[in-house]
Structure 1
Amino acid sequence: MTVDTHHHLWDLDVRDQPWMTGPEMDPLRRDFRPADLQAALRGTSVDATVLVQTVADPDETPEMLVLAETVDRIAAVVGWVDLTAKDARERIGRLQTHPSGGWLRGIRHQVEDEADPDWLVRPDVLAGLAAVEDAGLIYELLVRPHQLPAAIKAVGQFPQLTFVLDHCAKPPVAGGELEPWASRIRALAAYPNVVCKLSGLVTEDEWAAQPDPSRLRAWAEVVLDAFGPGRVMFGSDWPVCLLAASYTEVLGIAKDLTSGLTDTERTAIFDATAREIYNL
């Protein structure tokens, strides 16, 4: 059994995806619906997935909750709430009391798009994180390397809140420079309440060079060494991964990058840790 901790769905007739800019995003500029997900999963060992938000739109999360209620294999939802809103606590509460609110496991914001590298430690954001903690949810960190120092500070203020780092903080794989990303990853991993998704690496490399596990190995080894296999989870980042590799290729790359681990360690990465973190 395998849990995919990170994928998306969207219908462009319902909602625009403003992050799709430039002709290089053309492969993604179409609808990706549940039937497309089921087709991508066909023939794989994936039996449960986590559906993750894509836009800062309060209407998206309730729609995802309904999908989790009705679509086979979607087992959890990571939604969006405006953490800076004075009523963030009430907004989270409304999602949890939604008829399908039981599928909500976490909250995420596209911090990577924020101009302020210290956005995560603004007082209003910290108040929002406190609301996430009080609601019993996890918080997913979508940050880039230069935002990791703020992420480290925020994590340190909430030792009881589980944080999940998305896409290994989007390291500069194509550029080949491990530092300062690697040192910051180790500093973040020093906090036991942080878990990291082994996801998104293929799209941080040169897309035309994919799929090639050898180009990603050094980055994966930093993550595995820093967090340990028990705090790493597989995520496909489908359909964004299609810019560089197919679903089955991304799954195969992840298995290749973890091939030197024990069976128990690989079970943690591909199954057990995700079931614990997302309460599946």
Structure 2
Amino acid sequence: MAPPVTERIDAHVHLWNRATDPQDWIDPMTMAAIARDFGTHDLREMLRATGMDRAIVVQASNSLGESVRLAASDPAVVAGLVCWVDLTGDVAAQLATIGEGARVPIVGVRHLAHIDPDPEWLLRRDVGRGLKQLEAHGSTFDFVVRDWQLGQAARVAGEHPGLRFVLDHLGGPYAEGADRPVWEAGIHGLAAHPNTVAKLSGLSSGFRPGAWSAEAFEPVVATALEAFGPGRLLYGSDWPLAELGGGAALWREAVDALLAGLSDSEREDVLGGVAAEVYSLA
């Protein structure tokens, strides 16, 4: 059970300034809603609109420079940063570099494994050594993977029982080409490891506004609740990508509907308590 909630935490948002961190993955035609800069002023407005207090900012590119810049974010709205480091290098030295001018806690590390040229990046020995360094540092690691990588994630979680792992976006059950039975088996396999948790995030971001409903997501959320339980799930808006699906406020309303069957304390766990515990927020 997560500790009592003192604030509501959105466990997955992004910030970017394209002058310093271009975000070349943003297609200005198909992603016009997010083809601009997003700063802490925008984040503050989004949190107010969704009834949340602060957020965990997650890196948007595999860039140490971006992580250094994000670490200087306003702690009034940013509770912590999930940064990027090269896990095949000196992890402690890179974390120290990011922390030099940091205004927010460095709470975890993430690598965009779902688009890495090596389809088995997670299983590399040098990556494993980096994960051991993270464990020694007392950090966490966010999995950003797809259904076909969930088995790899479960293997890694089993090999590093002392490291906390956070699954982003429930492993992409609605990603292009996702196989639902493979995803379901992968979710249960990963959740069998007690050092894993998962984010209720990113589900609406892949749909056009008006092309989804809370009811449509009920089967995958029910699977996540069955596998992890509310004490191991974190709410995340995936803002500003949520704008692609109609906005963070709509996703927040959908989450309320999807969690309606939980007790008040269980909902508060998902909306902040689990994030505070997982990311060791003060």
- Matches of 1:256 and 1:173, distance apart in 2: 22
Which residue of 41, 58, 74 corresponds with 2:78? 74
Instruction: For 1:272, give the aligned amino acid.
Output: G
- Matches of 1:118 and 1:175, distance apart in 2: 18
**Counterparts in 2 of 1:27 and 1:175: CA distance versus 1, 3 Å:** same
**Counterparts in 2 of 1:15 and 1:119: CA distance versus 1, 3 Å:** same
Q: Which runs of 5+ in 2 are unaligned?
A: 1-6
The structure, 1 or 2, with the larger RCO (C-alpha pairs under 8 Å, 6+ apart) is 2
Is 2:266 the partner of 1:260? no
Structure 1 residue 23: Cα displacement: 2.4
**Counterparts in 2 of 1:101 and 1:136: CA distance versus 1, 3 Å:** farther
User: What residue number does 1:89 align with?
Assistant: 92
Contact kept, 8 Å, 1:211 with 1:253, in 2: the verdict is no
RMSD of the TM alignment (CA)? 1.8
TM-score by length of 2: 0.92
Contact kept, 8 Å, 1:220 with 1:257, in 2: the verdict is yes
Structure 1 residue 93: Cα displacement: 3.3
- Matches of 1:176 and 1:12, distance apart in 2: 30
Which residue of 123, 131, 134 corresponds with 1:132? 134
Contact kept, 8 Å, 2:92 with 2:133, in 1: the verdict is yes
Q: Which runs of 5+ in 1 are unaligned?
A: none
Instruction: For 1:75, give the aligned amino acid.
Output: A
Contact kept, 8 Å, 2:231 with 2:266, in 1: the verdict is yes
Q: Determine helix, strand or coil for the equivalent of 1:272.
A: helix
Instruction: For 1:10, give the aligned amino acid.
Output: W
Structure 1 residue 151: Cα displacement: 0.9
Which residue of 159, 162, 179 corresponds with 1:160? 162
User: What residue number does 1:147 align with?
Assistant: 149
Contact kept, 8 Å, 2:59 with 2:110, in 1: the verdict is yes
TM-score by length of 1: 0.92
User: What residue number does 2:225 align with?
Assistant: 224
Contact kept, 8 Å, 1:10 with 1:32, in 2: the verdict is yes
Is 2:122 the partner of 1:120? yes
Identity %: 34
Q: Determine helix, strand or coil for the equivalent of 1:197.
A: strand
- Matches of 1:153 and 1:276, distance apart in 2: 24
Instruction: For 2:12, give the aligned amino acid.
Output: H
- Matches of 1:130 and 1:101, distance apart in 2: 26
- Matches of 2:130 and 2:24, distance apart in 1: 24
* Residues 216-272 of structure 1: per-residue CA shift (max 9 Å, x gap): 110111111100110000000000011002111111111111111111211111121
Instruction: For 1:36, give the aligned amino acid.
Output: D
Contact kept, 8 Å, 2:174 with 2:203, in 1: the verdict is no
- Matches of 1:62 and 1:141, distance apart in 2: 21
- Matches of 2:147 and 2:46, distance apart in 1: 30
After the TM superposition, which residues 231-242 of structure 1 pair with which residues of structure 2 at under 5 Å, given as runs?
Answer: 231-242=232-243
Structure 1 residue 29: Cα displacement: 1.1
